Amino acid sequence: MSGHFSGLRLAYESLRGHTGWGRQWGSSELGDEYDVVIVGGGGHGLATAYYLASECDVGRIAVLEKGWLGGGNTARNTTIVRSNYLWDKSLALYDHAVKMWEGLSRELNYNVMFSQRGVLHVAHDEGDIRLSRRRCNSIRAAGVDSEWLSPEEVKELVPIINLHGRFPIMGGVFQPRGGVARHDAVAWGYARAASGLGVDIIENCEVTGFDVKRGKVVGLETSRGKVKAKKVGLVVAGHSSRLAELAGFRLPLMMNTLQALVSEPVKPMLSTVVMSNGVHGYMSQSDKGELVIGGGTDLPVSYSRRGGEGWFSSTTASIVELFPCIRRMRVLRMWGGTVDVTKDRSPILGKTPVENLYVNCGWGTGGFKATPGSGHLFAHSISRGEMVEKAAPFGMERFREGCLVDEGAASGVAH
């Protein structure tokens, strides 16, 4: 295994041709029995396994991943991190995550490149201003950072923005503690740290069925054979409905394709993340210099990761309205992922009709930002057998009882 990362170690390794780094996480064979099995080796699943191992005394833990770690939405997303949601329940959940992001590289001894460069939502008309200011005030009242910026202040923060185009900019809500992180490093960092604590991480191992006895999960069927499990956490994002069906229940989720693209790399020109719900697009600049651009989901319900072509022209047209100076730039690549969207645009964290089977899904277009907080709360909930306080409002019974946490406005296009 790779050992501890430090400046001294880096200098030492550079002198001997970087030959001593070793594997980042162990390669495990599937055991016969575990106390907890996490299905899904994305950021949320790996974070859950790490906090189960580091903070909860639950015994043997395994993560089963059907492909490679982070190959789902974790390494397909545009990495925006923020906690400026409308309702107190969401603010508590997402700000728990932002606080954890702030110390994550140190905790994992792995550079997840969390950069608090701020996230700005621009407003284009009087209605937009009213809604944005209301959201800004409610976020501040809950003790989370949020500032209203005038058009002049927006221009000062983002000199390349066009204030007076077809979609004039009349101000914006800014969260200075928001930012971006390196997505696959998050999966790798959690995998490395969890593996160091004895978690079995098994890639190329697809869960194909559940062994349920008298309403209680007791094991799983996988492409590598059967395994017994006392508790199971389902953390499979866009595959959640399929796996829930195999376990015998339904989830209130819709699957859509969400696409993104990056431009060719250029010198630094944008130092924050800019989002517009009005034109349905957002943009940031990666450390490599690429402009990272995203927009809304494709409308049809679909498991296809390719997405429709109309998305490309409408998203780039919107972004060019805000940033005319990029109109001649070339697109390097575009891609899509299958996002699991709930009616109220809030996640599902909770128990299921099958005893000892827990589910963490429904993060839709905006779950990357929650990765550390989601894993932390889910781990403690699995360990206790009850959802902990910040996770409790997000059980799926809310759809039956009508206690929705409606974040449509805060997450409609913004991620």
Q: Which residues bind ligand FAD (CB under 6 A)?
A: 39-45, 64-67, 71-74, 76-80, 206-207, 235-239, 243, 258-260, 294, 337, 339, 363, 365-369, 415
Residue type, 332: L
The three-class DSSP label of residue 242 is helix
Nearer to ligand FAD, 72 or 393 (CB): 72
Nearer to ligand FAD, 38 or 387 (CB): 38
Nearer to ligand FAD, 67 or 168 (CB): 67
Integer Cα distance of 191 and 42 in angstroms: 9
Work out how close the CB of 409 gets to ligand FAD at its nearest, in angstroms, rounded to a whole number.
Answer: 16
Nearer to ligand FAD, 80 or 244 (CB): 80
Number of neighbouring beta carbons within 10 Å of residue 400? 9
331 exposure class (CB count in 10 Å sphere: 0-12, 13-18, 19+)? middle
Residue whose entry in the numeric block shows the structure tokens 């390349």: 160
Integer Cα distance of 342 and 120 in angstroms: 25
Work out how close the CB of 297 gets to ligand FAD at its nearest, in angstroms, rounded to a whole number.
Answer: 9
Work out how close the CB of 185 gets to ligand FAD at its nearest, in angstroms, rounded to a whole number.
Answer: 13
Structure-block tokens of residue 352: 């299921």
Nearer to ligand FAD, 39 or 201 (CB): 39
Q: What is the CA radius of gyration of the chain?
A: 21
Pairing, β 225-234 against β 33-39? parallel
Work out how close the CB of 82 gets to ligand FAD at its nearest, in angstroms, rounded to a whole number.
Answer: 8
Nearer to ligand FAD, 40 or 189 (CB): 40
Nearer to ligand FAD, 116 or 163 (CB): 116
CB-based contacts of 213, cutoff 8 Å, min separation 6: none
Residue type, 375: G
Work out how close the CB of 232 gets to ligand FAD at its nearest, in angstroms, rounded to a whole number.
Answer: 11
Nearer to ligand FAD, 158 or 207 (CB): 207
CB-based contacts of 14, cutoff 8 Å, min separation 6: none
Per-residue burial over 152-179, b = 16 or more CB atoms within 10 Å of its CB, e = otherwise: eebeebbeebbeeeebebbbbbbbebbb
Work out how close the CB of 268 gets to ligand FAD at its nearest, in angstroms, rounded to a whole number.
Answer: 20
Residue type, 248: G
Integer Cα distance of 353 and 286 in angstroms: 42
Residue type, 308: G
Work out how close the CB of 343 gets to ligand FAD at its nearest, in angstroms, rounded to a whole number.
Answer: 16
Work out how close the CB of 104 gets to ligand FAD at its nearest, in angstroms, rounded to a whole number.
Answer: 14
Residue 81 β-bridge partners: 179
